[in-house]
């Protein structure tokens, strides 16, 4: 492991520990002070806005990172990718806002929380200005660490100082969105201050090319969203805000763990692409090592989460209103294991080896499976059914990924017939 990668993993460790520790203070505080109903409202609004986040990001977080990683030492090429991505994000953010306005006007359930939705959308819009993908592509994890951690600490302090009652739920969301804008402003400012890119005019052909490159990843992201965030949205429409709050409490813990683990993919992905240019065998050997480490860590973590769920929920949330979250947390205790491994295989093998169509097929099947079961399961079993659907979908996708790799004679615990990776593209 070279020095750059060691540094990036060190920064990753600091970043993800901060991302994990800060919510451990923020999440219980908000849950206690806002109550299950208003806590549920915020999480429902954020879940709805995730759809628009997908549109604005449009897969650039993967495709632009990959493109920049391949031309790390060519400032002009990096600059072209940078500006084409930024202009594309602006275009999609305008379309997203128009669609959001129309949906809020037409759907009473959403109209009733319009202030929350518009506030949450501002947080998504801030992603236009934060070139996370740029810093990942040039392998500057230290920058990402500082830009993410400092604003989150500020948000934490402001929440403790200003949020004291159930009626403060809108302000709580506004503070969090403000932290996102602070990160974005610092990030873009650093790019210009350090003169990391040249200032270039919009290139229509280049913008179209970036969108075309990102299209398969965008569709994959939409399909993936069908079995992740959509579960919470369905729960919100079929039940009430308090039940959404109960599910969200457990879901936030699970997603915090997934974020802690899946960020490994963000650090590894640029390096895999660098190795891929030199040697496909070297790239897969590297992925193989990462998968083994993640499998061991997540298996142990899943067992601990299953056993300690009652203690964790009571420690973090305390209130009896949240005790049903224990059942959800137990049901989804191994979800981080499957989700993290699925993400590593999907990004670092299927996308790197240009098997995007295979990935799209798998996530589409997973999305269809989730939509097929989430409505009846949620209707009849409530939060338990929603949790079972989420876990079942990740297990299905894991099995499909293994099946597709075996078809191409790739053993994720070893390397077989590497040439078949290319010859069996589909």
Whether residue 220 lies inside any domain: the answer is no
Number of domains comprising the chain = 2
Whether residue 10 lies inside any domain: the answer is yes
Helical H runs in 194-240?
204-226, 229-238
DSSP 293-320: HHHHHHHHHHHHHHHHHHHHHHHHT-SG
Calculate Rg over the CA atoms of the chain: 21
- Residues 201, 239, single domain; the answer is no
What pLDDT, on a 0 to 100 scale, did the predictor assign at position 5?
Answer: 55
- Residues 233, 382, single domain; the answer is yes
Whole-structure pTM value: 0.75
- Residues 19, 167, single domain; the answer is yes
> What distance in Å separates the CA atoms of residue 280 and residue 421, rounded to the nearest whole number?
9
- Residues 184, 258, single domain; the answer is no
- If one counts every other C-beta atom within 10 angstroms of the C-beta of residue 73, the result is 7
Pair of tokens at residue 357:
């169509």
- Residues 186, 268, single domain; the answer is no
Whether residue 16 lies inside any domain: the answer is yes
What pLDDT, on a 0 to 100 scale, did the predictor assign at position 96?
Answer: 93
Pair of tokens at residue 143:
């920058």
Beta carbons within 8 Å of 267's beta carbon, 6+ residues apart: 5, 8, 9, 12, 136, 141
- Residues 205, 313, single domain; the answer is no
Domain boundary among 166, 187, 214: 214
- Residues 198, 76, single domain; the answer is yes
Domain assignment of residue 272, given as a range: 227-426
Domain boundary among 190, 214, 238: 214
3-state secondary structure of 419: coil
Domain boundary among 168, 193, 214: 214
Whether residue 221 lies inside any domain: the answer is no
- Residues 172, 255, single domain; the answer is no
3-state secondary structure of 202: coil
> What distance in Å separates the CA atoms of residue 37 and residue 41, rounded to the nearest whole number?
6
Whether residue 256 lies inside any domain: the answer is yes
What pLDDT, on a 0 to 100 scale, did the predictor assign at position 170?
Answer: 93
- Residues 234, 275, single domain; the answer is yes
What pLDDT, on a 0 to 100 scale, did the predictor assign at position 266?
Answer: 65
Whether residue 406 lies inside any domain: the answer is yes
- Residues 341, 193, single domain; the answer is no
Pair of tokens at residue 87:
């202009």
3-state secondary structure of 426: coil
- Residues 391, 412, single domain; the answer is yes
> What distance in Å separates the CA atoms of residue 263 and residue 115, rounded to the nearest whole number?
31
Q: Per residue of the chain (426 residues), what is the pLDDT tens digit? A: 455 555 555 656 566 666 667 777 888 888 888 988 998 999 899 889 988 988 888 888 878 888 888 787 788 888 888 898 988 998 999 999 999 999 999 999 999 999 999 999 988 888 888 888 888 787 776 677 777 778 888 888 999 999 988 899 999 999 989 888 888 888 888 888 888 888 888 788 888 888 888 887 788 777 777 777 788 888 888 888 889 888 988 988 898 888 777 766 666 766 676 677 677 777 777 888 888 888 898 999 999 999 999 999 988 887 788 888 999 999 999 999 999 899 888 888 887 777 878 888 898 899 889 989 999 999 899 899 999 999 999 999 999 998 888 887 776 655 454 444 444 555
For the chain, the 3-state helix, strand and coil shares in percent, each to the nearest 5, are 85, 0, 15
Helical H runs in 107-140?
108-111, 114-125, 132-137
Whether residue 404 lies inside any domain: the answer is yes
Whether residue 198 lies inside any domain: the answer is yes
How far is residue 359 CA from its own chain's centroid?
A: 17
Contact 239, 381 (CB under 8 A): no
- Residues 421, 322, single domain; the answer is yes
């Amino acid at each position: 492991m070279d020095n750059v990668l060691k540094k990036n993993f060190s920064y990753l460790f600091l970043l993800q520990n901060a991302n994990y520790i800060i919510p451990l203070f923020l999440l219980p505080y908000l849950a206690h002070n806002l109550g299950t109903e208003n806590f549920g409202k915020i999480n429902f609004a954020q879940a709805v806005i995730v759809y628009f986040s997908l549109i604005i990001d449009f897969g650039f977080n993967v495709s632009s990172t990959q493109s920049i990683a391949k031309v790390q030492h060519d400032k002009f090429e990096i600059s072209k990718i940078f500006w084409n991505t930024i202009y594309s994000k602006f275009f999609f953010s305008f379309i997203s806002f128009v669609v959001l306005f129309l949906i809020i006007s037409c759907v009473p359930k959403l109209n009733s929380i319009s202030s929350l939705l518009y506030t949450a959308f501002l947080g998504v819009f801030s992603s236009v200005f934060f070139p996370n993908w740029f810093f990942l592509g040039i392998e500057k994890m230290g920058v990402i660490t500082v830009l993410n951690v400092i604003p989150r600490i500020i948000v934490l302090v402001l929440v403790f100082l200003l949020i004291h009652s159930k009626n403060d739920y809108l302000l709580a969301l506004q503070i969090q969105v403000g932290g996102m804008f602070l990160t974005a402003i610092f990030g873009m400012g650093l790019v210009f201050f350090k003169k990391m890119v040249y200032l270039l005019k919009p290139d229509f052909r280049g913008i179209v090319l970036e969108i075309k490159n990102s299209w398969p990843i965008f569709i994959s992201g939409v399909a993936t969203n069908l079995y992740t965030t959509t579960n919470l949205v369905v729960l919100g429409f079929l039940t009430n805000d308090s039940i959404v709050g109960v599910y969200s409490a457990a879901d936030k813990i699970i997603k915090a763990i997934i974020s802690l683990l899946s960020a490994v993919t963000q650090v590894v992905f640029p390096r895999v692409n660098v190795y891929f240019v030199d040697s496909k065998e070297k790239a897969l050997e590297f992925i193989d090592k990462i998968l083994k480490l993640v499998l061991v860590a997540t298996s142990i973590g899943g067992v601990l989460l299953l056993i300690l769920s009652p203690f964790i929920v009571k420690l973090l949330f305390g209130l009896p209103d949240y005790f049903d979250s224990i059942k959800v947390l137990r049901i989804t205790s191994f979800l981080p294991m499957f989700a993290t491994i699925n993400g590593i295989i999907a990004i670092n093998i299927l996308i790197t080896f240009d098997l995007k169509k295979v990935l799209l097929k798998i996530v589409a099947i997973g999305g269809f499976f989730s939509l097929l079961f989430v409505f009846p399961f949620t209707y009849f079993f409530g939060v338990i059914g929603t949790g079972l659907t989420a876990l079942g979908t990740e297990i299905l996708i894991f099995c499909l990924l293994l099946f597709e790799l075996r078809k191409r004679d790739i053993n994720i615990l070893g390397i077989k017939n590497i040439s078949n990776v290319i010859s069996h593209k589909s």
